[in-house]
Structure 1
C-alpha cells in the first residue's frame, strides 16, 4: 500500500480514480499484516510499556514476530474449535495479548471484542448473541478486576466451551493459560485464508444496557477505514503512535491500530490501564520522548488532563500531531493544546458501524475549527432533510454515509431498520453539513438534542460556551424533564485545579456568552468528575439519569412526599425510566400520579396501584 499525504479534496479524488483493490491490495486483514512483515522485517510493530517506571524498557515485537504471534493465536483457536468456526470473544485491556487475539481470531474466524467493564449478565448476553465458543480474559490482577465476573458469565452462558486466561493462577481453575498455549503452536502459514467480504468481527454498540446489538465488520470495512486513516495522517514506517485505547473500541483497533500496521509504523501500548494510569500520565511527555512518538491519540477529556502535565525537559519535537475523536472537540481546547505544546491537533469522526472512521482532518492541511475534516477515500457523506432529500452545502441535516467502510448490518436484522438504509447508505444519527471545500462539520447528535418547547437545542453549543470559561475543565449538557417545556437544559462541569468558580458565576457567564437565549442552562452542577465510558467519553445516559433524579426529588419534596415515596431512576440509550414505590399508600400513589401527569409521560399501574412507573 502506497500512502500519500492528503492535502486537498483533489488528492482524495485522485486516489478514488483507481480501483479500490489497487488502493488496498489485500484479501483480508491477516493478508495485510503478513505483507507488512515481509515489507518491514526490521521494523517494530508493537511495544508494550509494562509500568510507569521510565527505567523499565518496553517489550517489543518486530513485524515478523508480531505476525508469527498472530498466526500462533489463530492456530490455537482452530485447534480448540475443531470443525467449528472460531468465534472468539475477549475481555482484555490494551495489552499485547489483546492484539494477538483480535487479529488471530479474524485470521481464521470471527472476533468479538467486549467491554470488560460491562456487567456479567450483559457480557453473557453478548456471548450468546455472537455464538462465541472461545473466551480470552484477563486473570486476577491488582490493577484491574475482570476475572471475578468470569465464573458468573460461564454460569449464564453454559454453552461456552473454551476459556483462556492471561496470567493463570490457582484461582483461575480449569481455564487454559493463553500465553503457554499460544507458545506451543506452530507459526507456519495458515491453511485458511478469509476473503475481503467475509465477516471478520462483531463489535457491540448501542450503550451499556438493552438487548445486544452487534455490528458486523467485513475485512473490507476494516481495511477501508484503517487505510483511509493512514492516508489522512500521511503515515509511514517512520511513525510511532501512543495508543492507549482498548481494542473493544474501534479507535483502539482500527483508527490508531490497524492504520499504523498497514504502513509498517509502531504502536505503543501505555501500560495495562492505558491513559487511566495516573503515574503514566504524569510522565507522559517523558515516555513520548523515550519512545520517539510522532503521533498521539487521545479523547478530548484526556487532552484536558494532559494540559495539566508539564513537559519539563522532555524533547517532544518529533511529535507531529495529536489525533482525537470519540466526542466533540471544543475549539478552545484544541487551541490551548496547540499553544501549550506546539503540537497540531487533528479531529476525527468515526462510528462502530463504519469500521471506526468516516472523516479525518488531514495532518498535512490546516485545522479548521469545528470541522472533522474530509471523508476518507471511497467514502461519501451527505446531509439530508426529514424526507431524506440531500441538502445543499452549508445546510444542516442528518448525516448519512456510503462506502466500503459501512458494515453490512447488525447480526439481528430487525435492528437494521432506520440505520442501514436503501442503496447502502447508513444513517449516522449525527446532524451536520459539508462546506463548499468538502469539509465535514458535525453540529449535533440527533439523540442528544435537547427539545425545549419545540425549540431544538444542541448540547454542543452549551458545552462549547462553558469551555470558554477560564476555570472550567470539562462540561457536558443534557435535557432535564420539565412539566411545561418538555425538557430544560442543564449542565454538569468539573473545574480546573485551584478554581474558585461557583454555580452562580457559571450561570452568569453562560447568560452573557450563550449564542441562543433558550440554550442557557437552567442549572449548572459542579462535580468532582463526570461519568465517563471506558475510553473517556462523557456517558450521557448517566447524566440524564442524574438530571431526571434531581427533578423528581424536587417535585416530591414540594408535595411533602419525599419521606413517603421512594423513586428509582435508571437511564439507558433510549431514555430514563422512573419507578415510584409508594409503600402501599394509595393516597401517596394518587398524589404521585397527579404530580407526574403534566410531564405527559406514559404511565402504567402495577399491582394495587401503589407502584407507579414513568418513561421520561
Structure 2
C-alpha cells in the first residue's frame, strides 16, 4: 500500500525499491488525484507493466472488476505455494528525508499480530470495527482490518480520507451510533478532537473498547475521554516493523501512562547501548534504556541492506529506537524516541514530562516539546500547543504554568508557542521534525532580526537541520552573520546571495 499524498516521483521510487510490476489505483475523480498520479508514475517508472484501475480507467489500464470475475469468492487462484515466512506486504515507513524505507512483513508476522490483537481486544464475530486511520498504514491494515476478518467481524471504513476528513470527524459519533461500532483505534490528537464534539444526547454505548497507539496518550486526556464516554481505552505500543508488542490488560490492572505489558510469545527488553548502538547490558528495574523487541511479530529487516545497519544489537533482537523502562511488575513506560531527547547542558530531558505538564492546563488541547538551539546549554526545551476551541490564554501564562509543574528545573520550557494546528503525519502522529525546523528558524531569525536577511530551514540528508540565510541584493555582511550564529554550533547555516539557486 502507498500513501496517496506522495508525489509521483516518490511513488515511482517506492515501486522501484520493491521491484513492483503492477500498480492498483482508483479511477478518475477519487481523492488526491490518484489516477492522474498513477499515469504519471507509469511514465517515470518504465518497469511498470500493468496498471489496474478500480472504477473507470483509461486506455492501457486493466479493469479491476473484470479481473476478479474469474476468481472464486472465497480465495484467489494465483498458482503460488505460499509459505508462512514469504513476504505478504511491504509497508513504507516515513523518514524525514529521501525515499521512505520499505518494511516487509511475512504472512507469519501479520497473522500473529492479528491473532494477538483479536485475543487481547476481545474481538468477536459480529463486532463492528471502525477504521479511520489510513489504509496504507499497518495499524489500519492489521489491527482494525485483518484482526476482524480472522473472526468474522465487520469493518466500517470511514471513507477515502478517514480521520483526515473534517466532514467525517464532524460525523464520527453519528457514525458510531448509526452503525453500532464496537471498537476503534486512534492516536492522541484524534481523541482530543473527538472529545470536543461528543453530543450529550447520542447513544454510543455499543463501543466496548478503544485502542491508542503511535504516541503516548496524555493522562488527563485519557481520563477525560473515558469519563465522558465510558469507553475503556487500552494504550499499546508497536511499530510497523514489529506489529503490536505491548498492551494494557483489558480485564486486569491498567496503569495509565504506561503502554502495558508484553504480549504472548514475544519479549520487550530495555537495554543500554554504547555510542555505536552495540549491546552493553540490560537495564535495571525502572532504568530507562533503548527497547529491544523479539518474537514472531518482528520483521526480518528492511528491503534495502543499507537501512539495516545497527538494527540488531543482539541476534534476533530489533532495536526499536524508542526509549522506555520496565517497572517491577513488567509494565513498559515509554520515555520518547531516542532522537526526541532534549539534551540541555548534558542533562537528558524527556519531552513527555513537559507535554504532560502543559496538558493539565484547561486551555491546552495537545502539546509537543522539542529542543531549541541554545548558545550556552546546547539546546533548551520549547513547547508548541494547540488550544481547545474558544480558549484564551497567553504564551507567557503557559510558560509559567509549565515551570511550576515540571518535575525538574531544566525541563521547564524556555518558550511556549501557540499554533492553530500541529504538524501531523499521515496517521495523525505529531511530526516533530517540522517543529524542530521551526524552533531553529525562530532562534536564527531572532538573532538576525536587525539585519536585512530572511531565514529558512530545511533538513539535509547529511547535515541534518540547515538554516539558509538569504541576503538582499547589494548586502552581504558575512562576518556579522557568522559572529552571531557560530556560537550555536553544531547547528549548520549557509549564507546565500540573491542569485543563489537555494
Tell me the residue number matched to 1:580: 469
- The residue correspondences of 1:53-72 to structure 2 (distance < 5 A) are none
Larger relative CO (CA 8 A, sep 6+): 1 or 2?
1
TM-superposed deviation, 1:165: 2.4
C-alpha distance in structure 2 between counterparts of 1:161 and 1:606, whole Å: 46
- The residue correspondences of 1:273-422 to structure 2 (distance < 5 A) are 273-354=161-242, 356-387=243-274, 388=279, 389-422=281-314
Which of 438, 454, 470 does residue 546 from structure 1 map onto? Answer: 438
Q: Does the 8 A contact of 2:342 with 2:349 survive in 1?
A: yes
Deviation per residue, 1:263-301 (Å, 9 max, x gap): 222221112221223333333223212222221211111
Tell me the residue number matched to 2:369: 477
Q: 1:121 to 1:483 in 2, by over 3 A?
A: farther
TM-superposed deviation, 1:307: 0.7
C-alpha distance in structure 2 between counterparts of 1:150 and 1:464, whole Å: 43
Tell me the residue number matched to 1:468: 360
C-alpha distance in structure 2 between counterparts of 1:352 and 1:121, whole Å: 23
Deviation per residue, 1:107-143 (Å, 9 max, x gap): xxxxxx1111122222221111111111112333365
Is 2:324 aligned against 1:432?
yes
Deviation per residue, 1:471-505 (Å, 9 max, x gap): 11111111112222211211111111111111111
Tell me the residue number matched to 1:47: none
C-alpha distance in structure 2 between counterparts of 1:146 and 1:588, whole Å: 48
Q: Does the 8 A contact of 2:468 with 2:495 survive in 1?
A: no
Tell me the residue number matched to 2:11: 123
- The residue correspondences of 1:10-49 to structure 2 (distance < 5 A) are none
Tell me the residue number matched to 2:108: 220
Q: 1:577 to 1:267 in 2, by over 3 A?
A: same
TM-score, normalised to structure 1, is: 0.75
Tell me the residue number matched to 1:507: 399
C-alpha distance in structure 1 between counterparts of 2:198 and 2:100, whole Å: 43
Deviation per residue, 1:335-386 (Å, 9 max, x gap): 00010011111101010111x2111112222321111112121111111123
Which of 51, 57, 68 does residue 182 from structure 1 map onto? Answer: 68
Is 2:381 aligned against 1:493?
no
Deviation per residue, 1:449-480 (Å, 9 max, x gap): 11111111111111111111001111111111
Q: 1:607 to 1:222 in 2, by over 3 A?
A: same
Tell me the residue number matched to 2:487: 598
Tell me the residue number matched to 2:29: 141
C-alpha distance in structure 2 between counterparts of 1:575 and 1:240, whole Å: 44
C-alpha distance in structure 2 between counterparts of 1:211 and 1:280, whole Å: 30
Tell me the residue number matched to 1:455: 347
Deviation per residue, 1:16-44 (Å, 9 max, x gap): xxxxxxxxxxxxxxxxxxxxxxxxxxxxx
Structure having the higher helix fraction is 1
TM-superposed deviation, 1:422: 2.9
SS in 1 for 2:176: helix
SS in 1 for 2:448: helix
Tell me the residue number matched to 2:145: 257
- Runs of 5+ unmatched residues, structure 1: 1-112
C-alpha distance in structure 2 between counterparts of 1:477 and 1:529, whole Å: 14
C-alpha distance in structure 2 between counterparts of 1:270 and 1:125, whole Å: 29
TM-score, normalised to structure 2, is: 0.92
